[in-house]
Chains A and B, each alone.
Chain A
């Protein structure tokens, strides 16, 4: 069995699966249930100053479904904890005492004043928590009051607040970043400059999840009005993966630990985040969709994969895929693929044909010798992968490399020597323009 023990920014947990700061970690009751289910750690739902904030009394969530009504995206307009600070602090202290092997990180959000941050940090330190996470991410509600994402969108603020926190606290400081920016590397660099021990990302994406066409209200609807909320769940995973990779491969931040967050639903999602450079992962929507038991699948699945691949521990998988993330200009333009359709697996739905015919390169037949038959026309196939993407049968269509001979589409011999855009004759800026 692979060793799933995790040490993230000096915080130890029996596995790399933490629950993210969110409704599932709002109270001792929920967190204890999570620990009983096997979660390695939690980031307690964001604490603020008293008097406690209030939430809306109508719906807080909105959903985006796939065709089979699986929850693909969840949007929320819930704010930080709406319970008094001391109740949360007391519960955190008790739970940490009862579950010493689990990671207990406390999320914080207070106004952007040095005194406010330093005061709350002292209180958290007294609970025995393992670390803090600075919530610079929430895009809704709190951001209107100068907190959350409105801090995370200004790198100077991130650096300033992080520095205040590091000055008064010996606890590891994780800075949680908002994706509602143009380039994630700037806030990450600012966190590093402020002395952050790690960053976590992504927080939720600003969103309107749907519109009720009867009432013309955005949803979730509060008495006929809606407000943009934070979007999360499987739909945001690709955005999060890219942002994790951007930080992991940035020269300044490449050694900054990253806690990966964003639509992680299965062990595979978690492994992908870690392969791109996340030292651990945080989960919320999957637990809010299926309950805490999903962690069992994550633990056993990750274990099985690591054993199969011979990865002994978490460190041996973190960042394994990072070196393979590159800029487009460095992609090998001499790498040629063509789609191949496994005729035994093909169910003849014809979707590969019609999407290629209507929207791409007219490279798949629909009839051969009078029979319904789907086959790739190599002379037209650019290897775009659209047919693979729409085929309902897994592995029925695959992209295969043409390693030698001719590319019959371009009518040129396949050259397996690496060559990219920087040296391509069509590039006016080519480095080695002959």
Chain B
């Protein structure tokens, strides 16, 4: 392979370079400091955007970061991965004024990077309460919950199935969104508050049971995400070369040497969400000759944001809408082609048209979503809804000592920022419960 690992590392580096101090100054001046600002309403964690931008503008970046962390302790990661174009930046009144919102995400990153690079932690733990809470899952929901609980003085143990904490931030997001080991640096930053202990490679339902946790701790928070990829039960799905996109991304995120990764010449990605895009773009960056993303519905129905779809296309990924896989075709045990059938919407229902086509492929990624892993929670203990954990507004489950948040709960929008909000709300609810 002509490309060396240094080149790959460069290709996988920061999608959006950070703002310089001057750029942040110029951009922050664009904020109008709106009344009842629409960007705040649009932020799932309710960050006071106009205030933190005004603080940047007055050379108070540390204060700006504190304003962000007050509502979102993972404000650093969210500044990198939030689909701002459908959240805060979509709501910015500058869109009406000149079709160019204030770069809220980039400014948030500027502020949080400034404070985090100073190596200080902006919060102090309250007096130790003597209460112990267990958080299952060290992803965005769990980390946000643990930090807020620690602030209130509770002792927190985090159990995580993986060798490293961070959840999808560490294993499930494209490299170019969070280079330089940012996910681990953010975990370290969060743990700096004290009172939080992470135990890796402990999986709920295997090494530990919910019943034991309920006995050992005063409250339980479940933020285990959706670890099980939906499987495509089609002919040839077990051929070599057919792989879950989440596995590919996890491998990619943990590799020391991108050039050592096994990537096909002709890649097909099946799905329409962020994971599909992350897999497709990274496959292309890693040297695949052709990458085709196939989605069964239309462009508007894709879960990936318009920005992400555009990113895929500018990176040379071809997107085909309205086609669903029919079978995987191979020679001996190796994938060679994927057959698709065109689809159409008939009376609100998606149907095959009968017309098929095949794409040559030696690598196919399945990215049709994930589900709650079987055996993690017992439906007798915690009520489920649509195969996810049912919670109330405070993120409390049907069990009064168990709260949950992040992708594993029903009714969410599967965003990092929403998971953070779940964790935060649950922690406040747990704190009220433990203090009563």
Which residues in A have some Cβ–Cβ distance to B below 8 Å?
67-69, 346-351, 353-354, 366, 372, 392-393
Does B26 make an interface contact (CB < 8 A)?
A: yes
Does B38 make an interface contact (CB < 8 A)?
A: yes
Contact of B25 with A347 in the complex, beta carbons under 8 Å: no
Q: How far is the CA of A392 from the CA of B94 in the complex (A)?
A: 10
Does B34 make an interface contact (CB < 8 A)?
A: yes
User: Which residues does chain B contribute within 8 Å of A350, judged by CB atoms?
Assistant: 34-37
Given contacts A67-B57, A392-B97, A393-B97, contact A349 B29 (CB under 8 A): no
Contact of B93 with A347 in the complex, beta carbons under 8 Å: yes
User: Which residues does chain B contribute within 8 Å of A347, judged by CB atoms?
Assistant: 93-94, 96-97
Does B32 make an interface contact (CB < 8 A)?
A: yes
Q: Determine the interface band of chain B, counting residues with CB < 8 A from chain A.
A: 10 to 19
Q: How far is the CA of A354 from the CA of B29 in the complex (A)?
A: 19
Other-chain contact of A351, B25, B26, B35, B94 (Cβ < 8 Å): B35
Other-chain contact of B35, A67, A69, A346, A366 (Cβ < 8 Å): A366
Question: Helix, strand, loop or mixed for chain A's interface?
Answer: loop
Given contacts A366-B36, A372-B36, contact A349 B25 (CB under 8 A): no
Contact of A69 with B25 in the complex, beta carbons under 8 Å: yes
Q: How far is the CA of A349 from the CA of B95 in the complex (A)?
A: 11
Which residues in B have some Cβ–Cβ distance to A below 8 Å?
25-26, 29, 32-38, 57, 93-94, 96-97
Q: Which 7 pairs across A and B sit closest by C-beta, in order of nearness?
A: A350-B35, A354-B35, A347-B96, A347-B93, A349-B34, A349-B32, A68-B29
Q: How far is the CA of A128 from the CA of B36 in the complex (A)?
A: 66
Contact of A349 with B93 in the complex, beta carbons under 8 Å: yes
Q: How far is the CA of A96 from the CA of B412 in the complex (A)?
A: 79
Distance in Å: Cβ of A348 to nearest Cβ of chain B = 6
Q: How far is the CA of A68 from the CA of B34 in the complex (A)?
A: 17
Q: How far is the CA of A348 from the CA of B91 in the complex (A)?
A: 10
User: Which residues does chain A contribute within 8 Å of B97, judged by CB atoms?
Assistant: 347, 392-393
User: Which residues does chain A contribute within 8 Å of B32, judged by CB atoms?
Assistant: 349, 351, 392
Q: How far is the CA of A244 from the CA of B49 in the complex (A)?
A: 44
User: Which residues does chain A contribute within 8 Å of B34, judged by CB atoms?
Assistant: 348-351
Distance in Å: Cβ of B64 to nearest Cβ of chain A = 16
Closest residue to B94 on the A side, CB-wise? Answer: A347
Q: How far is the CA of A329 from the CA of B34 in the complex (A)?
A: 37
Other-chain contact of A67, B29, B36, B37, B93 (Cβ < 8 Å): B29
Closest residue to B28 on the A side, CB-wise? Answer: A67
Distance in Å: Cβ of B422 to nearest Cβ of chain A = 27
User: Which residues does chain A contribute within 8 Å of B37, judged by CB atoms?
Assistant: 350
Q: How far is the CA of A354 from the CA of B57 in the complex (A)?
A: 21
Contact of A348 with B93 in the complex, beta carbons under 8 Å: yes
Q: A347-B93, A350-B35, A372-B36 are in contact. List 10 more A-B contacts (CB 8 A).
A: A67-B57, A68-B26, A346-B96, A347-B96, A347-B97, A348-B38, A349-B32, A351-B32, A351-B34, A392-B32
